[in-house]
Structure 1
């Protein structure tokens, strides 16, 4: 193809073929050393300070500097098990709980019981000692009181118990996904190759790439703190690209051996063609994942580092240890064969079922492009109305008991567990009494608007008297648009009016809290989503233009990427915002898409889809180099690669679809978004729209490169004999 990148995989493959044991043992040593790093160097996980953004981040930093962080608290809610609440029994239960809890190790204090307005619920707030990481002892007291007062419902929920329950559920979900995904991937590889060793090699390479990356990330986390979700993302991306790259290489090597070439020749040709495609597609995935850095968020920075690293490791393994394994195994790479699968695989031949669907697309490109375009546009239109919001209680599984308890506390005591705002003041001149008076006045005026309720905690002041804060509750659900309106009013009018004359010239104030953090994140992301899309598409367009030396082809690739993104966002909107298929997937629609997912799906989709996009175009370009006319080159190139693309997409769709069956709705959103996106992209976009566009544009699609003049007569190549034995 004339591209200098071709020399890299060829040189790597040649060296590995000549020194197979060095390449294999070198890879084993590399993985072992990387895993050893994870054991020797503990991973540095991101702290709360790493996630601070905007005004809410400034408020949180002011609270931390003044040592005003509140100790962890657990809330105990006492309600009727059925019918009306027996208030006398509830107060006895509260007294019994208070006495037992105060005598429990790790409990600092138990607040006076608090009734809600209708006296239908009684709330006790339990303050834990600093440093207490679990609330098991308090839960034991709660369970004991529940046994003694069986006519009441005594439930506990707080930050610690809710976080523990969520972490346990996420761990169970991810464990289930990993347990199911491995055998599913192996089965799909068996269908693709029909032989056990050939099927196991891609899974082995992907698994070792993931293991090495997790080890290397432990050391890198001291430069870029690791988010708690990065390990799962590395497994997800690493298995997808690792299997894909091995699949490309193995399929091409087998194809060349089917033509009678020796193992060494087959490996060299695979390195020159598929190896080149792996380098280019790996660069495209890395460029796409780098778009996450544009957001400037600790979570996305960590995800970007993990994704880039695992792709780079997978590429390295594909162009070094994989050729060495193929040379050492020789004909044994296709042993032992699974008789039925082997015969089916050989009978279908190159291109599989997908190649048989290509002929009408090439014969009627206008109709094919029109019909597929209508489907993609129809799916993309709902994305125009996509609503995003940070995760809330509504996005957590209702089957977690603590979730329902927090919801009930929020409904009865909105200032304690509902949406809230925290006003923090640091004064350089006014006395603590003046600041307290100003904050009390702010509380009265805020409550008078009807958008806020007093928390009952009053003004809290640091020991040095320079920093004070109040908490204002909001009688709205977390996703209610009035929450953001109230916060903007608080920040823009109420707080400045109350505090501008108090803080002094070097003082400061800020409005924070969970609701404010969600607003700040949304505002930051709204301004950068377009930048990320532009960055990713521009970078991948430049890669395509450089690789294929074709400006029209780079533009076509960008347009197809946009089509895939639009369709993916549309599917996510229909399913999770409007609730399509919610019964089938067993979830209740929260009415929005979790805010970080569109960006994540965008970069993963563009990155992974470029894998087989580059693979297909490289094969078409090979046929153009041989002098075939564009129409025939397109038809043969896609027919040659359709089986590989189908197998690669099947692996990704299957693995991502597993996540759609998990209980956490964020996992479902990621699974549905990615599986639907890859399915549409690998079929409708790349196998219908792409060949239709290439046929319609003709030779001009390769401008400024000029293809050779078509051969006067094209002699059809005979189908491979698939005899099952190879010339060594």
Structure 2
């Protein structure tokens, strides 16, 4: 790999305009494919493994429009709602595109609030419906003009009223420029990584469009792909630029420096990208189509930015010449003071045990709230009060009871007798958690019998899972409990069980890759343990902020609620890969110093000195990007941003700057212990070794 990467980097630097022309051709090809076979993002929320899915499939087979999109219109006034206004509103809703049914208005006890439910003839994921409420807004506009408060709820409004504002990407790019400029003292060095990352993201965006034309891709997938791709793309390019600058300072020409930087740091980029891809592929084991699309979409972005780093960075470094170096270095001014990272690593190395114990205790304390972790996919009542779905939720809860916002439906199949249906109806009504049971209705073909269940509490209540289990325990064979709430309860249980499968796969494969590269047993185990500790601390902070409400007001959250069930698996897969990036960057330089000197403790100090500034700058950029996403309105995106920002911050500070040097100093030569039999068994993959096979150095 050394010679191949050297030739790639040197060739790109020697022929910059050919490389740029090649990237233009790649752009043209990818976007031509995107325009011909590509398609829009589209959700696929069917989960065959969920028990509630069977009930949904039965309804779709026998009840026209059942299992498709829904919307609720809540009409509220300071006087009883006029029947004529309800008639007008019903007619306008019924004439909307794809509107199949409009329910009879349900009036509150005092008559000042009415709820109408619209059923559509297509699923909410249909491109003509998903994220679009223009028809609903037009239909209810006369009611607003008549003085009513009109709020919207249900599938269609919930997926259209909290659009992404794009703050994360903008904040991340601006923060990256400022951080890199401050850290490296060169406008060129600050701009190169961002330029390379944007090139890779551009190609990745085209590739994602092609993927969306071939399979269903979640509408959230581009957000996750951009978040991760921007971060790792800057990381990879920054690593290459830093190594290129080192070779320039050593006297090599820009072309030769580019080749050597790609041969050394480029191997770290290849391996780090590989560990991220392993983590992303672990998302497929979660068993949900949405996660599969997250994994593939983000993998496309990671491959794009890695390819751009290995080819575009050498080109830009060649064109920039010695302007990559800070002005003081170009003018041969040198700093006499030892870098902060060197002083810090030496301080930790002198007394490693207290530092290791202190950092570990802080991480464990932050992780402790995870013992109280409770998850739920989502609830409109958890959104900001600035969103119409939250206001509709609150109106329904106040006028009809909190359980009126839920959706429990009992479906009796063709094999169930009338007596069996009545028995199930009576048994469910007698349960203590049930507030009301609706009348039994038959499907148009008479094959199914259906009735609705209203609980005494809301969706995200801790008692929901127990009530779902209690209802199912009362249902005879052939009768299913379905609806949004049981469906989400099933997904929550599935994700909780699958999380351990994802963790086992990602951790084991990552440890194997680290053992192959660094020829050690203890280092992969230590790296996996520390990365898991970072993720656990991130979960703990999310519980404290969102579930316990500590400081939630600073994020615009007005009450506590469970952590999104989508978060644990997604955050683990993404963050474990990102943490391994930093681990590879640091350990590769430590190993290089170890092979040169044989000094176990000195190699740790030297390795941290070489990479500390790069890792710190890269992590600061990542944190800024993720905090930018935490500023979005949607609470799920907020949780994703906070969780990832906390984990990266802890990983780059307590883990990488304290726990790693402390534990490696304690272990000494045992860091590099590998049994002879395992050494023979494992393939050898070198990262960041001296490129001895390269041609004779060409110096300026």
Normalised by the size of structure 1, how large is the TM-score? Answer: 0.85
- What whole-Å deviation, never above 9, does each CA across 1:470-489 have from its counterpart, x for those lacking one? 22222211122332222112
Is the 2:381–2:393 contact (alpha carbons within 8 Å) kept by the matching residues of 1?
no
> Which of 158, 162, 177 is equivalent to 1:186?
177
Counterpart check, 1:367 vs 2:357: no
- The answer for the alignment partner of 1:323 in structure 2 is 314
Change (3 A) 1:489 1:354: same
Counterpart check, 1:482 vs 2:452: no
- The answer for the alignment partner of 1:66 in structure 2 is 62
Q: Determine the C-alpha separation between the residues in 1 that align with 2:134 and 2:26.
A: 42
1:80 to partner: Cα distance = 4.8
Q: Determine the C-alpha separation between the residues in 1 that align with 2:69 and 2:371.
A: 41
> Which of 390, 394, 405 is equivalent to 1:407?
394
Three-state SS of the structure 1 residue aligned to 2:309 is helix
Is the 1:285–1:607 contact (alpha carbons within 8 Å) kept by the matching residues of 2?
yes
Q: Determine the C-alpha separation between the residues in 2 that align with 1:57 and 1:141.
A: 32
Map 1:129-208; keep pairs closer than 5 Å.
130=121, 133=129, 136=134, 139-140=137-138, 142-148=140-146, 150=147, 153-159=148-154, 162-163=157-158, 166-172=159-165, 175-208=166-199
Counterpart check, 1:233 vs 2:231: no
1:120 to partner: Cα distance = 5.4
- The answer for the alignment partner of 1:446 in structure 2 is 428
Three-state SS of the structure 1 residue aligned to 2:451 is strand
1:657 to partner: Cα distance = 1.4
- The answer for the alignment partner of 2:626 in structure 1 is 656
1:361 to partner: Cα distance = 0.2
- The answer for the alignment partner of 1:624 in structure 2 is 594
Counterpart check, 1:213 vs 2:199: no
- The answer for the alignment partner of 2:519 in structure 1 is 549
Change (3 A) 1:255 1:552: same
Normalised by the size of structure 2, how large is the TM-score? Answer: 0.88
- The answer for the alignment partner of 1:283 in structure 2 is 274
1:452 to partner: Cα distance = 3.0
Counterpart check, 1:495 vs 2:490: no
Structure 2 residues without counterparts, runs of 5 or longer = 123-127, 677-697
1:212 to partner: Cα distance = 1.0
- What whole-Å deviation, never above 9, does each CA across 1:324-379 have from its counterpart, x for those lacking one? 33234423445xx7x7x999998779985433322210111111111111111111
1:124 to partner: Cα distance = 4.3
Counterpart check, 1:23 vs 2:23: no
Q: Determine the C-alpha separation between the residues in 1 that align with 2:332 and 2:649.
A: 22
> Which of 80, 86, 104 is equivalent to 1:97?
86
Is the 2:439–2:451 contact (alpha carbons within 8 Å) kept by the matching residues of 1?
yes
- The answer for the alignment partner of 1:581 in structure 2 is 551
Change (3 A) 1:101 1:388: closer
1:18 to partner: Cα distance = 4.2
- The answer for the alignment partner of 2:489 in structure 1 is 519
1:225 to partner: Cα distance = 1.6
1:129 to partner: Cα distance = 6.6
Q: Determine the C-alpha separation between the residues in 2 that align with 1:701 and 1:135.
A: 59
Is the 1:252–1:270 contact (alpha carbons within 8 Å) kept by the matching residues of 2?
yes
- The answer for the alignment partner of 1:42 in structure 2 is 38
Tell me whether 199-208 or 348-357 shows the greater mean CA deviation.
348-357
Q: Determine the C-alpha separation between the residues in 2 that align with 1:61 and 1:299.
A: 19
Q: Determine the C-alpha separation between the residues in 2 that align with 1:67 and 1:110.
A: 15
Q: Determine the C-alpha separation between the residues in 2 that align with 1:146 and 1:228.
A: 31
Structure 1 residues without counterparts, runs of 5 or longer = 501-507, 707-725
Map 1:269-280; keep pairs closer than 5 Å.
269-280=260-271
Q: Determine the C-alpha separation between the residues in 2 that align with 1:72 and 1:20.
A: 52
